[in-house]
Structure 1
Amino acid sequence: MKVLFATWSMQGHYNPLVPLGWALRAAGHEVVVACHPSFAPTVTQAGLPALPAGPDVDVLDVLKGRLSKRNWAAGPPPPDGVPDAKRRLLGLRIGVDSADAMADDVLAFARSWRPDLVVFEPNAFVGPLAATLLGIPSVRLLWTVDFTARLGELEAELMEPMASRFGLTTIGALGTVTLDPCPPRLQVADDLPRHPFRYVPYNGPAVLPDWLREPPSRPRVCVTWGTSLDGLGLDHMVLAPRVVEALADLDVETVVAVTDRQRDLFPDPPANVRHIGPVPLQPLLATCDAVVQQGGGGTTMTALAAGVPQLVVPHMPDQIFNARHLEATGASRTLTADEATVDGLRDAVHALLTDPGHRDAAAGLRAESDARPTPAQTVALLERLARDGSLPEPSSNPSR
């Protein structure tokens, strides 16, 4: 079986595809990942072949320019100010532009290579475009709560310029089936065909530091703010320094997992800070009692897989979306940026560490996640889908 993967050029979107790519290759199948040319080294670093497609598009640079024009990106949103579904989804136009830039090269390759199946992350619209034009199934692989579940309502409006270029009215942007890594309590409730899929964290290449091999002597709290805000130049949204200040008087060990460039945001760390800088998130969170973060999909799901209670301080619409769904499970707390004062942060972290309800809820989500089919176990479903287009009965998706 030949499987064409598609991603746009952000690690947080590509990394969740990697374990399934490994599983398919281990089962003897061919995998090629379509991406923007500058992203090819990131793809190949994970051991998968890259297909550089189209003129290069600096997704972060384009997104940075568009975010600067939006009120909610210039500072914290209103306390209850999640933009409505239409406003949120219209922000996906950058994904359409990205796909349009890649489309000609991807289609030329696909028509020659003749894949049996397409796997794509939710913003890589070149994937379902190619699948629709080739008449083959496509699989949308989520990495967190389904922020784009309502895309079908706006697909014609969003995709029209690109779709019409290829003689289509729609491209099937939600795919033939969605692989959903969220436990039932965390899922969006809708009628889309979904199949359970275990989130296996891959946070990029990493070396395990010596200090992480030692068990902590007191509760360990991870403070991280992802990588996207750094790349977008939105340091005013990175509240990690304030979190570190809030934790200074607690009897905890603080590990600050940030980019190299963000080290300068912590000029005089308190004595209970063990590390500041890059650190592999999966093994770190396995040793933590709590994590404080911004609501990014990778951190949210890696912490879920580790069974760690979370404090989320979101700014962006997708982060707010993740935070609200996660908080409803009991495994996390949420503070708005206005509520995230030093005192507010300290009290919230203390509650995460002392309230057994949060620990129990986080452990429950981990158990539900561990019960979902692994990437290796999912290969048979994809083989069946590619062979005859059939699927087992979709998993139940109870209302929340």
Structure 2
Amino acid sequence: MRVLIMGTPVSTHFAPMIPLGWALRASGHEVLVAGQPDIAGAAHAAGLSTAIVGDYFDALEPLTANLPDGKRPIEVGRIRVRDGHWDAVNKIWLIHCRYMVSRYLEFAREWRPDLIVSDPLEFSALVVGGVLGVPTVSHRWGIDPSGNPGQEMARRTMGTLMGRIGLAELPRPALVLDPCPPSLQVPEAPASQPERYIPFNGTGSLPDWALAEPRGRRICVSFGRLTAALNGIPLFQTVIDGLSQIEDTETIVTLEPEYRDQLTSIPDSVRVVDPVPINLFLGTCDAVVHHGGAGTTLTSCAFGLPQVVLPGVADMFVVAERIQQVGAGRMLDEAETQNDPAAVRDAVRAVLEDPAHRKSAEQLRDEIKEMPTPADVVTVLEGLTA
């Protein structure tokens, strides 16, 4: 098969499809990633070839527009989406589709794929598949409250565009792949084909400190690359201050070098390190504090670690809720508690000391191990094009 992988121009939306790309190539299929330059780096780091379509897309712009200096979105009541109201977020990807779909169609007509795999919010992939008459598979990136509502919104509002292209409506995916353990997925998500999550958080070198014996219980703090850029350094400091109050612990904080001098203090029990793929060292950790990103959440689940989630934007609040609801961790989803070192300390201490949290986290790990591998899923995909 010639498989075209498409994705919205956000590397964290694209990354969960990488292990499937590896499995397709290992099975002898041709794989090409088509997208804007924003995801090219992640694709190349994973060893996947790309076709650049369109220009850069600044995913930060909708989040930073008119954001007051020194304030995080949660502190001004913005970008907190929950309770099923996803149109405000998904409208971004609807507009994105309208100006990208013709470019993707032009490219796909020349490359002629047999199968398309895409994240749920790249609506152009469904259009391309419909026009070319090839199956399109939606690949969720994890806990996914927005993908199906987004496609239904596009189906309601894109009638005129579909008519011009020659389609009756936005086509539906031939299959939905889901790397999220079923018990953790939002209950309203439509039925899907499970696919085991394979931890991949980019490439890097195993640091020397990861091989050293931890100085007590080791806590990983990873807020991705977005939090710091959204005025989040005070949040890093709050978490550092709170965790330094927990006895017999060592805290590993990943943070880009350009933000380090904004930290006011780093206690002896805290090690601030350059960003490194967390799957390289989570096996040495006892708990994870993070922002609710899909990759960090599922990687923590794959290692069976309890989590404390401090969400900041969009579906991260739903991620935090689901982790808490299944018992695998705690959430701090209000600015007041996120800015309180004592609240952070108490939440982390709870997941470290309450065996129920670890038991639930280990159940998620075991559930992931029972899911079909990407290699198993390749056989399913081959059946779609037979």
Structure-1-length-normalised TM-score: 0.87
Cα 1:312–1:65 shift into 2, 3 Å: closer
Does structure 1 residue 307 correspond to structure 2 residue 331? no
Moved more, 354-363 or 262-271: 262-271
Partner of 2:238: 242
Answer whether contact 1:224 1:240 (CA < 8 A) is retained: no
Secondary structure class of the residue paired with 2:251: strand
Cα 1:193–1:358 shift into 2, 3 Å: closer
Partner of 2:294: 297
Partner of 1:37: 37
Secondary structure class of the residue paired with 2:62: helix
Answer whether contact 2:84 2:145 (CA < 8 A) is retained: no
Cα 1:270–1:73 shift into 2, 3 Å: closer
Q: Output the CA distance in 1 between the equivalents of 2:166 and 2:316.
A: 35
How do 1:247-258 residues align onto structure 2 when only pairs under 5 Å count? Answer: 247-250=243-246, 251-258=248-255
Cα 1:131–1:345 shift into 2, 3 Å: same
Does structure 1 residue 219 correspond to structure 2 residue 210? no
Does structure 1 residue 279 correspond to structure 2 residue 276? yes
How do 1:33-182 residues align onto structure 2 when only pairs under 5 Å count? Answer: 33-37=33-37, 39-54=39-54, 56-64=55-63, 68=67, 74-76=73-75, 82-86=81-85, 88-148=86-146, 149-160=148-159, 162-168=161-167, 170-172=169-171, 175-182=173-180
Deviations 1:116-139 (A, max 9, x none): 111001222221121111122111
C-alpha deviation, 1:207, in angstroms: 1.0
Q: Output the CA distance in 2 between the equivalents of 1:103 and 1:118.
A: 14
Deviations 1:9-53 (A, max 9, x none): 222112111111011001000111111135434322221110111
Q: Output the CA distance in 1 between the equivalents of 2:66 and 2:82.
A: 14
Cα 1:275–1:146 shift into 2, 3 Å: same
Q: Output the CA distance in 2 between the equivalents of 1:152 and 1:36.
A: 20
Partner of 1:203: 201
Aligned residues: 379
Q: Output the CA distance in 2 between the equivalents of 1:29 and 1:365.
A: 31
Partner of 2:258: 261
C-alpha deviation, 1:239, in angstroms: 1.6
C-alpha deviation, 1:225, in angstroms: 1.0
Cα 1:128–1:229 shift into 2, 3 Å: farther
Secondary structure class of the residue paired with 2:336: coil
Which segments of 5 or more consecutive residues in structure 2 lack a partner in the other structure?
Answer: none
C-alpha deviation, 1:303, in angstroms: 0.5
Moved more, 184-193 or 137-146: 184-193
C-alpha deviation, 1:162, in angstroms: 4.7
Q: Output the CA distance in 2 between the equivalents of 1:240 and 1:332.
A: 19
Secondary structure class of the residue paired with 1:235: coil
Does structure 1 residue 358 correspond to structure 2 residue 354? no
Q: Output the CA distance in 2 between the equivalents of 1:261 and 1:126.
A: 36
Secondary structure class of the residue paired with 2:350: helix
Which segments of 5 or more consecutive residues in structure 1 lack a partner in the other structure?
Answer: 388-400
Q: Which residue identity is paired with 1:175?
A: P
Answer whether contact 1:304 1:365 (CA < 8 A) is retained: yes
Secondary structure class of the residue paired with 1:338: helix
Deviations 1:236-264 (A, max 9, x none): 48622211100112221000012333323
C-alpha deviation, 1:5, in angstroms: 0.4
Q: Output the CA distance in 2 between the equivalents of 1:284 and 1:161.
A: 50
Q: Output the CA distance in 2 between the equivalents of 1:64 and 1:272.
A: 33
Q: Output the CA distance in 1 between the equivalents of 2:195 and 2:97.
A: 25
Q: Output the CA distance in 2 between the equivalents of 1:334 and 1:151.
A: 26
Partner of 2:373: 374
Deviations 1:121-171 (A, max 9, x none): 122222112111112211111121112233344223454565454244532
Cα 1:65–1:125 shift into 2, 3 Å: farther
Answer whether contact 1:291 1:303 (CA < 8 A) is retained: yes
Secondary structure class of the residue paired with 1:279: coil
Q: Which residue identity is paired with 2:245?
A: D
Answer whether contact 2:288 2:306 (CA < 8 A) is retained: yes
Q: Output the CA distance in 2 between the equivalents of 1:238 and 1:124.
A: 34
Moved more, 28-37 or 142-151: 142-151
Q: Output the CA distance in 2 between the equivalents of 1:161 and 1:91.
A: 22
Secondary structure class of the residue paired with 1:322: helix
Q: Which residue identity is paired with 1:282?
A: N
Does structure 1 residue 318 correspond to structure 2 residue 312? no
Q: Output the CA distance in 1 between the equivalents of 2:189 and 2:290.
A: 31
Deviations 1:180-224 (A, max 9, x none): 122221122347340111111211121111111223131000111
Q: Which residue identity is paired with 1:212?
A: A
Answer whether contact 1:90 1:158 (CA < 8 A) is retained: no
